[in-house]
Structure 1
Amino acid sequence: MKASQAVINILKDWNINHVYGYPGDSVNNLIEGLRKEKDEIRFIQVRHEEVGALAASAEAKLTGNVGVCLSIGGPGAVHLLNGMYDAREDGAPLVVITGQVSHDLVGTDNFQEVNLERMFDDVAVFNKRVTSGELVQPLLKQAFKEATTHKGVAVLSIPDDVFEETVKEDKLRSTVQSNYRYFPDKEDLKNAAKLLQNAKKPLILAGKGALNAREELEVFAEKIAAPVIVSLRAKGVLPDEHPYNLGNLGQIGTKPSYEAMDETDLLILVGTGFPYRDFLPDDVPAIQIDVDPAKIGKWYPTEVGLIGDSAEILARFNEQLFRTEDRYFLEACQKNMANWWEHMDKIANIEEGKALQGPHVMHELNDFVEDNAILSVDVGNVTSWFAGFFRMTNQDFVVSSWLATMGCGLPGAIAAKLKHPEKQVWAICGDGGFSMGMQDFLTAVKYDLPINIVVFNNEKIGMIKYEQEQMGNIPYQTDLQTMNYAAFAEICGGKGYKVTTKEELRHAYADAATNNKPTIIDVDIQERAPLPGKIEWSQAKSYSKHMWKKLMEGEGNFDMPPLKTVMKRLF
């Protein structure tokens, strides 16, 4: 058989049912093989390779299985890098196949030749160039193994002429996995149990690694009377209005989570690599649970490190620990959180006729998202609005959490709908993030993917504007030109809604939730800073500096608000 068929056989072996990419000269022989197998493996032609890589990364995050993308060498391979780094940073297994100039021309500075091994060296856990047809099978099998084992990016660069070589079928299966697991030492478990039993104000910080331990986490929190704070990627590990949930931490966090972190006498880190040290206690003992030994103590000094699966370790504690009777700290946090929800409801509710803001748009969405829906959230102010004002129940969501790359919302929604066509899928995007890859709305139309995209349109790169202000600077080059994304949706063959009022917003949500077309809801919003749950004095001081600088330099038509108004904005 041809080497291209050997590639396809291995994709089937790994249950890959679609590949994201863009055809071209250095992969055309593989594309021909995919054409012949289109009933079993769909080639999803994106309009930009970056979108293909981001979609494959999002699929891997949602499923835990390997995502696959494909491009030509040279410029196509360069375009893949952003999605590859997104996968690396979020621990998503990704296999990337790129073309290359003919193997007898490699190194001659030929047309579109790029040193792909050097370019991919930083991002990949496995990075090889195939020099003959006989190497295609063993190297591609190894690529899948490495991506799966290390939860990272594996790359094969294959010259197009190699795909045409005749090879013998390799009968060895590539999908066999060894069943192994880590479990903590008995002495470590005993020391952790002592800390748990002696703590008066235990606090859990749960991350992505706790998503497979929802039930165990809930029982554990109840047993030791500990409130739970979640990282962004772990939003939904407990329903947002669960009595033990204090919401997110940090710039997108709640005031109760900040204050609980300030009061705790024992921090329990469950499957998280939360990197923002400023939001963690100064000197509090910590227990850390993580499946990766390298993560123990990496971002916060750990008293006891427990290496293993979160669900198994929490289940062991649930069997052995007595129920804590002193629940004063938990109950105080719960009262604090109840007050927080009241505060957030006041912000989110809007009278008819008033201009919409980010919190209003996100809050209204709660009424229309199904319980098992998937949300793909872009990066920017919308991340803050989502964290604070969308109340997850059993939904799942995907985001670029560590790389935090703008433009991830649409690719994530495309991947979610392809993988779960039976589920409702929403993309939550700012106008800045959406416009970075909006051409691939055409991909959703082409493949008849009824995704709903909400564009928060304030004609600004809002988070960057706020960051510049927070530094004490006058915002510069953060304005975006006017664009009607609803009209764009209609031109592409989808459905578009232009929204300026609450009534129009609810009508658009209701229709989008039931229609069967790719849809853009373009919502005009008034500017609002995505203020964190707790304002530090340094932030207030810098914002005041920005206001004073703007006044002194006479930027635009600026009326200095009274001090009371400034302080109200901040606090």
Structure 2
Amino acid sequence: MGAIAAEVLVSRLADWGVRTVFGLPGDGINGIMEGLRRNADRIRFVLVHHEEAAAFMATAHAKATGEIGVCLATSGPGGIHLANGLYDAKMDHQPVLAITGMQETSVLGTGYQQEVQLDRFFADVAVYNEMIVNPAQLPSLVDIAIRTAYGRRGVAHLTVPNDIQVAEAGQQPYELVAPANPPVTAPIYLAPAVRPREAELRAAARLLNEGQKVGILVGIGARGAGRLVEQLADTLDAPVIKTLSGKMVLADDSPYTTGGIGLLGTKPSEELIEEIDTLVMLGTNFPYTKHLPTPGKVKTVQVEIEPTRAGVRMPTDVPLIGDVAATLEALLPMLRRRPERRLLPSYQAKMAGWRTNMAALESADRDPIAPQYLAALIDDLATDDAVLTCDSGTVATWAARHWTIRGDREFYLSGNLATMAPALPYAIAIQHAYPDRQVIAYPGDGAFAMLMAEFHTACRYRLPIKVVINNNSSLGQILWEQMVLGYPEYGVRFEGSKPDYAGWARGCGGFGAYVDRPGNLRGTLREALAYDGPALVDVVVDANEPPMPGKIKYEQAKHFAEAFLRGQPHRASIATTLFKDKIQQLRER
């Protein structure tokens, strides 16, 4: 049997060090599936239940390993299903390659069954986007796609018509000669350590040395530079705020950090933003500008690897184009250490108070179960090198405030896209990449239901992920957002019959447990974490626990009250929960 073009495509992926492809077969990629079969000793195909999950898995693989993630989908609807996960990769700047099928070249343009021009469909999401129309284009276009995905930190897409997939490898139906393709030895792509120019470094140093009250905002772009960030904070007497995506840049018990920012952040962080006269932004493109200083109020230095993102969120006095670690190594010797300790001690005291308030909400005595207690138990029982994933929604608030980064812990979620449903596929992909680490997914019930079939994927591959569902039988974040707008909630609670998620887990061949009493929770979580295989715990939590902002503003409180007056249907239960929260915080003082 002669080599086919799809075999060359897959072999070239393996040359680049790709070891896993996440996907779902279809008649539009049968040739590529044959290429994978012939290279099964070099690349493992992970069969999923939904293409969206495959794209999330490829994104999670890139986030957790730094290597390109690869997903595969058939033509038409299969490729369309990839879009949400690929936008997650795009907006969080992760290198991902999507490979899709396409109808035979002879019928393109005729309105053939499932004919969707996926190269056009992916025009917005992809930094590199091509259709293979000649077998001789392989493997050159694979090389270019992967280099572009790495170099531009984004999504590359190749779509391959059916007839091209199964054509003879290297077939050249045209007169042009294909370029030479030398062997590739992985790893082939090494990101350069980019350092700003000397003049810009000195300008930044002057500005920072003149600042009286300096604050630091770090994002995921500062990952791996935590020690240098703490040196900067110590030199400038500058507290460090962390974006949610950047939560693992510094340990949460670091004396330099005030925790998160924004609606999911802390009160000390909000107060710091209001007090500072100088801001240092390190590896972040934090989008919620209303939580940043008022433009013109502060001087700003921004360290950003991508020049087009510098100054997008804040007027930037000195943009430093470079990666965070190389930039700080060059900048720190130019800064004067402040002998007086004023801002840091002040915010260390504020953070101590904030942590006391958060701990008060983690009560084991509350019934229904307080979601803060559930999050705190996960934090307490997880290993110090656990990989934690969570979904968008109220779970992100509880994770932000009640999970602590310590040791070698890592934390992943959909950052800028903030889509529902990635927690479970993220966990599967990360467990696949790191089989010896504890991986815990923390979805809400709404998000879990979207891609719950993928728990079966974990069971089929015996991936020992642990899934803890924060089940409030509602789309909790939307519920509170409606109220903050001043409207009573509408269409956000799943009333009536309740899905048996624990039964589903057992039916898949994993561990499944249901908990609706706080006294049973710790023991059940321990049992699930100790289980030698995939495990799921469905935890019923208080649906009326609001994810309150760190610092409540007048307009928020006003609109919240208006929702009550306009007929909020669960106002009595919500008021009772808020009263209990306040009583517990007062008890801790």
Q: TM-score, normalised by structure 1?
A: 0.95
Correspondence for 2:516: 500
Task: Please list every run of 5 or more consecutive structure 1 residues that lacks an aligned counterpart in the other structure.
Answer: none
Which range moves more in the overlay, 173-182 or 489-498?
173-182
Larger mean Cα displacement after TM superposition, 212-221 or 319-328 = 319-328
The DSSP-based 3-state class of the residue aligned with 1:434 is helix
Equivalent residue for 1:386?
399
SS at match of 2:62: helix
Answer yes or no: is the 8 Å Cα contact 2:202–2:334 preserved in 1.
no
Identity value in percent: 36
Return the letter of the residue paired with 2:350: N
Aligned twin of 1:88:
90
Corresponding residue for residue 291 of structure 1: 305
2:385 is aligned with 1:372: yes
Whole-Å separation in 2 of the counterparts to 1:178 and 1:546: 54
Partner of 2:499: 483
Kept in 2: contact 1:93–1:148 (CA 8 A): yes
SS in structure 1 of the partner of residue 54 of structure 2: helix
Once residues 269 and 442 of structure 1 are traced to their aligned partners in structure 2, the CA distance between those partners, rounded to angstroms, is 42
Equivalent in the alignment of 2:463: 449
Separation of aligned partners in 2, 1:432 and 1:541: 28
Q: What does residue range 77-476 of structure 1 map to in structure 2 within 5 Å?
A: 77-168=79-170, 171-173=181-183, 176-177=188-189, 180-282=192-294, 283-351=297-365, 354-393=367-406, 394-476=408-490
1: CA distance, partners of 2:290 / 2:376: 29
Q: Distance in 2 between matches of 1:236 and 1:566?
A: 31
1:550 has 2:560 as partner = no
Q: 2:43: which partner in 1?
A: 41
Structure 1 distance, partners of 2:94, 2:269, is 28
Q: 1:97 to 1:567 in 2, by over 3 A?
A: closer
Measure how far apart 1:284 and its partner are.
Answer: 0.5
Does residue 536 of structure 1 match 2:553? yes
Q: 1:497 to 1:405 in 2, by over 3 A?
A: same
- Give the aligned length: 565
SS in structure 2 of the partner of residue 286 of structure 1 = strand
Distance 1:565 1:23 in 2: 53
3-state secondary structure, aligned to 1:229:
strand
Cα distance in structure 1, aligned partners of 2:150 and 2:310: 21
The 3 A distance-change label for structure 1 pair 285 and 566 is farther
Cα offset, 1:309, TM superposition = 1.4
Alpha-carbon shift at residue 219 of structure 1 (Å): 1.4
Amino acid at match of 2:195: F
The 3-state SS of whatever aligns with 1:478 is coil
Distance 1:148 1:127 in 2: 14
Pair 1:567–1:488, CA change in 2 (3 A) = closer
Hey, what's the Cα distance between the residues in 2 that align with 1:110 and 1:479? 42
1:466 and 1:529 in contact (8 A); partners too: yes
1:464-517 deviations in whole A, cap 9, x for unaligned?
Answer: 011111111111110114122111111111101111223321112211222111
Cα distance in 2 for residues equivalent to 1:438 and 1:523: 16
Task: State the one-letter code of the partner of 1:91.
Answer: H
**What is the identity, as a one-letter code, of the residue corresponding to 1:55?**
M
Q: 1:80 & 1:495 partners in 2: Cα distance?
A: 29
TM-fit CA distance, 1:568: 5.8
1:281 corresponds to which letter in structure 2? P
Secondary structure (helix, strand or coil) at the match of 1:236 reads: helix
User: TM-score under structure 2 normalisation?
Assistant: 0.92
Bigger shift: residues 432-441 or 191-200: 191-200
Does the aligned pair in 1 maintain the 2:13–2:142 contact within 8 Å? Answer: no
Equivalents in 1 of 2:264, 2:575: separation in Å? 26
Q: Distance in 2 between matches of 1:565 and 1:58?
A: 39
Q: Secondary structure at the match of 2:567?
A: helix
2:424 counterpart letter in structure 1:
L
Evaluate the alpha carbon distance shift between residue 40 and residue 560 of structure 1 in structure 2; reply closer, same or farther with a 3 A threshold. closer
Counterpart Cα distance in 2 of 1:468 and 1:119: 33
Please report the RMSD computed on the Cα atoms of aligned residues, expressed in angstroms: 2.0
- Distance verdict in 2 for CA 1:250–1:388, change over 3 Å: same
In 2, Cα distance between equivalents of 1:30 and 1:191 = 53
What SS is found at the alignment partner of 2:550? coil
3-state DSSP class of the match of 1:200? coil
Once residues 43 and 531 of structure 1 are traced to their aligned partners in structure 2, the CA distance between those partners, rounded to angstroms, is 43
Whether the 8 Å contact between 1:200 and 1:326 is mirrored in structure 2 is: no
CA distance in 1, matches of 2:24, 2:504: 23
- State which drifts further: 185-194 or 267-276: 185-194
Query: Aligned in 2, Cα 1:153/1:350: closer, same or farther, shift over 3 Å?
Result: same
* SS of corresponding position for 2:248: coil
Partner of 2:367, secondary structure, is coil
Secondary structure at 1:15 match in 2: coil
Instruction: For 2:323 and 2:34, locate their aligned partners in 1 and report how far apart those are by CA, in whole Å.
Output: 43
